[in-house]
């Protein structure tokens, strides 16, 4: 028989570890032609940090995204940005790039103020142009850069960010461990075959508070992939170790989800702006995976009326639990 169930999983997850120093640095420089180069130690492993850092620099400097080149994760030339881990790079390297870009922006504004003969506080940079108050002027940012260059003035900035290191109390382990938190709720719908024990995930709705979604398509991609990893964690993936040796070191024995195992995922982005984040952003990498297995396991419990305490929910485990509960019912004379 096939039984359906729904389950919910909720989570909060710390972003920006404060127990130990956790800094990142960045350089931002305008080249002679008015394009921008960002140097960051932040390694983009596919999550899209280089795109996001380019967006932050472009927004801060008032130039087109296409005019920003990001040189990332090259220890020969880029400043340290710490690891791409702990869902920290958008928050931490994002702040470092924002700070570096803000300083370069001040240089450009000073140059523009000199050309226009107005106070720097009244100047804004937007859409490649210099603005005076709410009005665009005839002066482009590129013209300001070449003017500065002709006078030997460089328009660059460096920045770094470290969420205030607070250190935890060594005796109690108490303190303020993170600069901010991401929150999420996921709902899973499953179908369980009570004969074979196969659990099929039919749908996942995943609502994530990420602060500002600097690149919504990237955020969706992170959420969808987190759900897929969560499905693996809930149903498939188990490292079997015997006498110190991994017994299943191959994709045919350590199963991870294929396109056939992943249902439609409906990401919902909740933008609760984080005051200390770059443009209000936090992070989403790991949070996307955290609640999935709980939501699926709760959905299986809803379908079968049985609680599982070991993952993954392999067909063998599910069938064994169903059998155990049947036998128990018979023993109880039901």
Partner 1 sequence: MAAFHLEMKVNGELVAVDIDPGMRLLDVLREVLHLTGTKEGCGEGECGACSVILDGELVDSCLVMAPQAYGKEVVTIEGVAALGQLHPLQEAFIEAGAVQCGFCTPGMILAAKVLLDHNPNPDRQEIARAISGNLCRCTGYSKIIKAVEIAASRIKAEAGAASD
Binding residues (CB under 8 A) for partner 1: these are: 45-48, 217-218, 220-221, 224-229, 250-252, 256-260, 262, 264-265
**Structure tokens, 169:** 């109390």
Please, which residues have CB within 8 angstroms of residue 202's CB and are 6 or more apart in sequence? 4, 189, 190, 191, 263
Of 195 and 264, nearer to partner 1 (C-beta) is 264
- Separation between Cα atoms, residue 50 and residue 74, nearest integer Å: 13
Kindly give the pairing relationship between strand 199-209 and strand 264-270: parallel
> Least distance to partner 1 from the beta carbon of 215, Å?
9
Contacts for 92 with CB less than 8 Å, ≥ 6 apart: 16, 22, 23, 24, 81, 82, 161, 162, 163
Which of 189, 220, 274, 286 is labelled catalytic? Answer: 286
- Write the DSSP symbol of residue 65: G
Q: Please confirm, yes or no, whether 107 is among the known catalytic residues.
A: no
Neighbour tally for 307: CB within 10 Å:
10
Minimal distance, residue 227 CB to partner 1, in Å? 6
Whole-number minimum distance, CB 237 to partner 1, in Å?
A: 11
Minimum CB distance to partner 1 smaller for 45 or for 273: 45
* Of residues 40 and 218, the one with the C-beta less far from partner 1: 218
Tell the smallest beta-carbon distance from residue 262 to partner 1 (Å): 5
Toward partner 1, which CB reaches closer, 18 or 225?
A: 225
- Helix axes 216-231 and 292-304, enclosed angle (nearest 10): 50
Catalytically annotated residues = 286
């Amino acid at each position: 028989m096939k039984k359906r169930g729904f389950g919910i999983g909720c989570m909060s997850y710390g972003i920006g570890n404060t127990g130990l120093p956790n800094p990142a640095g960045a350089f931002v420089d305008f080249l002679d032609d008015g394009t921008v180069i960002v140097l960051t130690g932040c390694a983009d492993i596919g999550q899209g940090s280089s795109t996001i850092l380019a967006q932050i620099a472009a927004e801060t400097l008032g130039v087109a995204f296409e005019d920003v080149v990001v040189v990332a994760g090259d220890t020969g030339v880029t400043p340290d940005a710490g690891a791409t881990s702990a869902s920290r790079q958008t928050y931490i390297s994002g702040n470092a790039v924002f700070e570096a870009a803000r300083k370069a922006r001040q240089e450009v504004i000073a140059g523009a103020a000199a050309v226009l003969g107005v106070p720097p506080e009244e100047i804004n940079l937007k859409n490649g142009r210099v603005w005076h108050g709410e009005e665009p002027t005839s002066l482009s940012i590129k013209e300001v850069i070449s003017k500065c260059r002709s006078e030997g003035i460089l328009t660059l900035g460096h920045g770094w960010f470290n969420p205030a290191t607070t250190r935890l109390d060594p005796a109690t382990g108490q303190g303020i461990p993170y600069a901010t938190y991401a929150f999420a709720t996921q709902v899973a719908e499953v179908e369980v075959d009570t004969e074979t024990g196969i659990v099929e995930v039919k749908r996942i709705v995943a609502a994530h508070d990420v602060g500002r979604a600097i690149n919504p398509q990237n955020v969706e991609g992170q959420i969808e992939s987190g759900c897929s990893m969560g499905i693996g964690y809930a149903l498939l993936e188990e490292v079997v170790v015997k006498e110190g040796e991994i017994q299943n070191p191959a994709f045919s024995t350590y199963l991870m989800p294929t396109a056939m195992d992943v249902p439609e995922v409906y990401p919902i982005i909740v933008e609760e702006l984080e005051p200390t984040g770059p443009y209000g952003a936090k992070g989403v990498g790991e949070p996307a995976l955290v609640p999935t297995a709980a939501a699926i396991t709760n959905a299986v419990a809803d379908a079968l009326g049985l609680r599982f305490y070991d993952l993954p929910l392999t067909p063998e485990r599910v069938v064994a639990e169903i059998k155990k509960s049947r036998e128990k019912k018979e023993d109880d004379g039901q």
